[in-house]
Chain A
């Protein structure tokens, strides 16, 4: 089955620093990748959608200058949390979908637990 790999699984950083999270589709080409954020015991909140080779589309309330998304290839998307603050601590999950937009299910990575101290 389709595999999405997310790295790192856990990261602790100091306030003010930046953190990059990678999301890779291992056995399929992902034309679209999604980034979600999940707070404890809550549902997944869509942050942004990225299509390969174009700018990401951010959901309302998500700061695009703070959460930089790059989808440079059909197998890799990155999320960079810039100038991180403790309130950015959360579980970030990426997902990817194959080329057949209307038919492909969404596969998720295993998430990245970000803790900002």
Chain B
């Protein structure tokens, strides 16, 4: 099955700086890569996603890049703000013999943006 590795596990940046979170995946057939933001005590919220036919996608301060050959994708947050502090999860859609297509999550990155 799909294996998703995420780094770093914790990241601390100063307000205004950029933050980059990287993920790798193992299943070359995976074709959908969402990123989720989870605040304390809440469910994950989809912030951006990318499909395998696209190399980069941007939405205001957030961008995601995908390198299919290397099987890695990254989340870039520019001009970080304290409210960006949260846990971020990457995921890859792969085939699960039990449930069909399912999302496999990375272990999360705890981002702290200090004023």
Contact = CB atoms under 8 A, between A and B. Distances in A.
Contacts, number: 58
B98 A57 contact: yes
Contacts of B44: 44, 93, 108
B11 interface: no
Contact of B43 (A41, A58, A105, A110): A110
B100 interface: yes
Given A44-B105, A106-B34, A6 B98 contact: no
B105 A43 contact: yes
Contact of B41 (A49, A107, A109, A111): A111
A108 B41 contact: no
Interface residues of B, number: 22
B99 A46 contact: yes
A57 B100 CA distance: 9
Q: Is the interface of B mostly helix, strand, loop or mixed?
A: strand
Interface string B85-105: 000010000001011111101
Contacts of B106: 43
Nearest to A49: B99
Contacts of B34: 105-106
A102 B107 CA distance: 24
A6 B110 CA distance: 24
Instruction: Name the residue among B43, B99, B106, B110 with the largest chain A CB count within 10 angstroms.
Output: B43
Contacts of B103: 34, 46, 106
B28 interface: no
A108 B36 contact: yes
Interface in B71-86: none
Interface of A: 4, 6, 34, 41-44, 46, 48-49, 57-60, 93, 95, 101-102, 105-111, 113
Given A42-B108, A46-B96, A106-B103, 8 more contacts: A43-B89, A43-B106, A43-B107, A46-B103, A105-B34, A110-B43, A111-B41, A111-B43
